Amino acid sequence: MMGPGGTPPVGDAPPPGVLGVLIPKQEILTRTRDAVIALTCLRVHEEGCVLELVAAARRGDRPYETWFGRTDAQAGALFAPVPGRTDPAAVRVRVAHAGADPGTPPLLRGSAGTSTPDLLELTLRFWLSPNPPPTPFDLVVEWPAAGIAPHRHPIDGGEIAEAARRVQRFW
């Protein structure tokens, strides 16, 4: 659903005309022999933050014909989450606070990818709004198609709260 002028509704995306604060992360969240999910950075705004992740999988020693059991035409739909659609095998991201079960997933706001016959690499940007409280929380990631079970990774909510105070408006 779009707002006035074809823009996302307030709260569904980073606001226009604002320079968010970049928090570099470069953290491997979870890894198997042939797949990895990493958090590259957070871009923090007053009303939320963008979580940028990279998910990569390699064919390894599997025959090309059984590479994830899919044809090339099916691979993109399987591996990359699509806004508004749930694919049980795609990369999934959720947030869990203080030992609670993971809640509603952040909104996927962009993705890009590249692939070769032996490697698939995705860059995924999720919009988390509102910002989490200034306490530790867990980012819960999983990628069933690549054999990555749900994994919790701690994030410092205080770092996000501090960065939100440094956001600059263009005008």
What's the pLDDT score for residue 41?
Answer: 98
CB 162 within 8 A of CB 49: no
Check: CB of residue 126 under 8 Å from CB of residue 75: no
pLDDT for 68:
62
Average pLDDT for runs of 10 along the chain of length 171 = 49 89 98 96 96 92 70 50 67 85 79 86 92 94 92 96 97 92
The predicted structure's pLDDT at residue 29: 98
Task: Provide the whole-model pTM.
Answer: 0.84
Q: What is the pLDDT of residue 98?
A: 74
- Residue 2: predicted pLDDT: 44
Give the pLDDT of residue 77.
46
pLDDT in the model for residue 139: 94
Give burial (CB, 10 Å; 0-12/13-18/19+) of 51: buried
Q: Which pLDDT score is estimated for 73?
A: 41
